[in-house]
Amino acid sequence: YTAATNNPCFDKMESNPICVQIPWDRNPEALAKWAEGRTGFPWIDAIMTQLRQEGWIHHLARHAVACFLTRGDLWISWEEGMKVFEELLLDADWSV
């Protein structure tokens, strides 16, 4: 909460002084496959399927799918992942 207090751009990369400006891949098809659990990677797909069905996944599973999206195979912005998590997670709280 402290970092967000003085940063109106805390929840986005653009104009955020504490974010490295990364040239993310813009791939709506890959993003949709990730969000729907259709990546072809069984571990990732199982986690995203559980998230859609139950609205909850273990924190290590959250880390796994977030890393797959951003630094793993897809190289898609965390902002896109945040939108999916906010939609599907029952306990979503972007500031935590």
Of the candidates 21, 18, 23, 24, the residue with the CA atom closest to the CA atom of residue 5? 18
45 marked ligand binding residue: no
**DSSP 8-state code for residue 41:** -
93 marked ligand binding residue: yes
66 marked ligand binding residue: no
Of the candidates 48, 49, 62, the residue with the CA atom closest to the CA atom of residue 92? 62
Q: Residues at the annotated binding site for FAD? A: 91-93
Q: Residues at the annotated binding site? A: 91-93
